[in-house]
Amino acid sequence: MNASRDDGSLAPAALVERVAAVLAGERDFIANAANAVAAIYFGMPDVNWVGTYRLSDDELVLGPFCGKPACVRIALDTGVCGAAATREETVVVDDVHAFEGHIACDAASASEIVVPLVGPQGLVGVLDVDSPRQARFGPLERAALEAIAALLVVGSDLKG
Ligand code: SME
């Protein structure tokens, strides 16, 4: 990955603090999601795609992201994103090629974690992070990304 990303790498707990800082004082969901995914993309080593999908009319629709252009709509019964959304729990996939139904948006992706975004009104979307390294996402990364998902939901005004 490029030098500026390597220079900006943070430990998972420090990444949560960075995201809390960039979200402070703003409650627009799109703006906060855009800054959160950029902070993850530039702060977490070895990731090639970081983004959000929002629940809209019973499907997931692409939201702010960093990385290559991605599929726009994902049905709730497909992909890692659909699994995390349906179960309303984090799904960690160490090898995307072994996950039946995985949707390949970037051929470089080897492992993936999807964290549901759940507000007071229920599921509002998912946070999806891909890595070109197998088994990239361990307990520390999972905890950090779940904390970031909570910051995003609590710190933003979510509309329908
Ligand atoms: N791999 C995801 C689709 C989204 S891309 O990774 C950006 C999935 O299987 O749901």
pTM over 0.85, yes/no: yes
d(CA 99, CA 120) in angstroms, rounded, equals 30
Our separate counts of H helices and E strands in the chain read 5, 6
Which structural domains are found in the chain, ordered by start?
Answer: 26-154 (3.30.450.40)
Locate the ligand 1 atom nearest the alpha carbon of residue 51 and give its number.
7
Profile the chain (160 residues) by mean pLDDT over runs of 10 residues: 60 96 97 98 96 97 98 96 98 97 93 96 96 98 98 87
Beta bridge partners of 93: 112
pLDDT in tens, 23-61: 999 999 999 999 999 999 999 999 999 999 999 999 999
- Ligand 1 within 6 A of 128 CB? yes
